Structure 1
């Protein structure tokens, strides 16, 4: 009975997060559900508090990186990226797709998938119109790469942050192991996109008037570069990367004299509360049967078959539960084995490209396209997901297997 009640609470939270009635934040359902789980004794207060303390630094980093991305946008970083993509494409749709892939992959890796979805997607749509290319290939690329290109750095995705905190790996070690999988997944995505959108990429439309070419936002790009370098430097010293993100955000905020109210709004505190509350609700499901079930089916060795099994399991759970609760559910089972933990990340980061409900970022991307009169067809999303996700998972896992062997990590 406890498992049924916990599962109902989790389902209610996830349905609310997907539907978001009247645009209400996800925390409106998650916080009461977490409180109810504690009140009903599904999770003890001590366990809930321990979960809050474990997730706290990661959630703090999430708030800081969201703020950093917003301030980068205020400095014109994303508009500059759009102008650079337009210039590189020279009006050629296939070249534009390459430029969008590179821009979206780097944006996702360095500024998180939320920056790609919220800030880069509108720029991508405008850039396609500017050069006279159909928007569909570039628009779908921003959604897919927001998920699959988030494999590279611990800061690229909330799922990465959670796994990084549990892994015991250093910042550079994590990045080194995930570089080959990151590249492999992006290459597979690009090849499938060229095939799937071949008709769109042959069409040339009337370009819209050129918005001009402004100077590069040198100050903002310098701050972002130093912030990224700081992540790698401070972690071995025992300093949480969140402080690096806060410092970078402060340097970007000062020249524009951003009001404190704006800083608080862009840190998205309701979403941070959602993550903390969701952690408690998932913990209730774990403690009443899910963790023991996953422990029974997850492989115990990080050989190639074990890595593939965990990656595909992560992808399935991401599309059933959403990738964030899937990560929270799988972490206790795989955190003792770095290879399996990183394979899980490939699954929960690439897998959401199969369905809309796989990640909250994808749902947000769909909303953004609706507001720009470029609503994606669900059939297109599913077809493209079926073509990209399985081969991307296999390519990413094979690359991870090679990385683990090169690094001398057998399990």
Structure 2
């Protein structure tokens, strides 16, 4: 009975997240209340799950505000000017600049910033240059997932894995640098091949004359915030404190210069989504308690050898496309954490790269779909899946090989 209720609750939460995202928060709250009320998960376990997720959610809130304030300061507009200037070498240079900027934005300001703030800039730049937007739009979609491997703060899944792996901020980053670089390079080669015909269209050179206004203050704040992540990790504090400090500094400046308003800041917090994450954790805990944990134990291989890491990453990728990557990482991390950091990071590779296969793989995919649809670009499920099938498996293998090489040498 409890298992049936828990699975039904999870299906309802994910269904609304995928099909009716504006209603995902109240549905998640109702589902969490239902599994607790029915005894599928105890009140004490539900409170424990919320307490464990609270620092992660607090960090997410701070980063969402930080990214929005960077946009208000003109950081993403400056990125668009840089991308337009890169077209002097042809569309391949344009694509390379999109990759470089999207990978950096994803790693430092999280994948949501790439999807929600950078993608519209990329689409507008492609339209201004009169070139096909599809190669560059797919670059932001895929890098929002793939390029989020680098830092513990790049993705909500990373923060969860960071806690489970027991690594410092710098050790995590050093370990994931090679997998991140390998994945980004493979992604670039494959997308360039898939969209080779679109990339032959020559851009209009006359569209790249806009002056570059670099928001130095915002860049300095972001740099100091990033350094603060390493400091807070060394002091065993939550990285949320560093993100909060950066957001407060930019918020004060933005309010003084009238680049932003309190209303914009509150909206950027996205409180309903934060509630959704907390309640989703409670529902996943109920499913785990009532049978999924024992079933997954039989699938997860032991050890940290290459084949084991590939299998763990593949399971993470498949599960992400079945139940979304956030529930997938909540399910898998408790099962692999005892095997060591490499197994935890293999899960992370699976749940971060795997979502490039289908829209349900991550909430970022769905946000990206809405962004490009509003901009007038069609992105059918079949096309997204086709591009994903051509890129995700090889990218995942490249990242796991990089992880195995680093952990073996270390």
Normalising by the smaller structure, the TM-score range is: over 0.9
Query: Which of the residues 345, 356, 361 maps onto 1:353?
Result: 356
1:55 paired to 2:53: yes
Query: Which of the residues 105, 111, 114 maps onto 1:113?
Result: 111
Deviation at 1:261, TM superposition (A): 3.4
Query: In the aligned structure 1, how far is the partner of 2:23 from the partner of 2:361?
Result: 18
Query: In the aligned structure 1, how far is the partner of 2:292 from the partner of 2:344?
Result: 17
Structure 2 unpaired stretches of 5+: none
Query: Which of the residues 87, 94, 97 maps onto 2:95?
Result: 97
Q: How does 1:12-411 map to 2 (within 5 A)?
A: 12-20=12-20, 24-90=22-88, 92-204=90-202, 209=207, 212-257=210-255, 258-336=260-338, 337-407=340-410
Question: Which TM-score applies when normalising by structure 2?
Answer: 0.96
Whether contact under 8 Å (1:86, 1:96) holds in the other structure is yes
Query: In the aligned structure 2, how far is the partner of 1:366 from the partner of 1:262?
Result: 23
- Counterpart of 1:238 in 2: which secondary structure? coil
Q: Partner of 2:2 in structure 1?
A: 2
Q: Tell me which moved more, 287-296 or 197-206.
A: 197-206
Q: Tell me which moved more, 317-326 or 264-273.
A: 264-273
Deviation at 1:210, TM superposition (A): 5.2
Whether contact under 8 Å (2:91, 2:203) holds in the other structure is no
1:282-304 Cα shifts (integer Å, max 9, x gaps): 00000011111111221110100
1:166-210 Cα shifts (integer Å, max 9, x gaps): 221100011011000001111111111111000000012557855
Query: In the aligned structure 2, how far is the partner of 1:213 from the partner of 1:250?
Result: 29
Q: Tell me which moved more, 288-297 or 278-287.
A: 288-297
Query: In the aligned structure 2, how far is the partner of 1:313 from the partner of 1:384?
Result: 20
1:348-369 Cα shifts (integer Å, max 9, x gaps): 0000000011000001100111
Deviation at 1:25, TM superposition (A): 4.0
Deviation at 1:260, TM superposition (A): 3.4
- Counterpart of 1:335 in 2: which secondary structure? helix
Structure 1 unpaired stretches of 5+: none
1:242-296 Cα shifts (integer Å, max 9, x gaps): 0000000111111221443332221111111000000000000000111111112
Whether contact under 8 Å (1:134, 1:205) holds in the other structure is no
- Counterpart of 1:279 in 2: which secondary structure? helix
Query: In the aligned structure 2, how far is the partner of 1:184 from the partner of 1:209?
Result: 33
Deviation at 1:211, TM superposition (A): 7.1
Whether contact under 8 Å (2:301, 2:311) holds in the other structure is yes
1:110-162 Cα shifts (integer Å, max 9, x gaps): 00000000000000011112333211100010000000110000000000011
Query: In the aligned structure 2, how far is the partner of 1:186 from the partner of 1:11?
Result: 32
Question: Which TM-score applies when normalising by structure 1?
Answer: 0.96
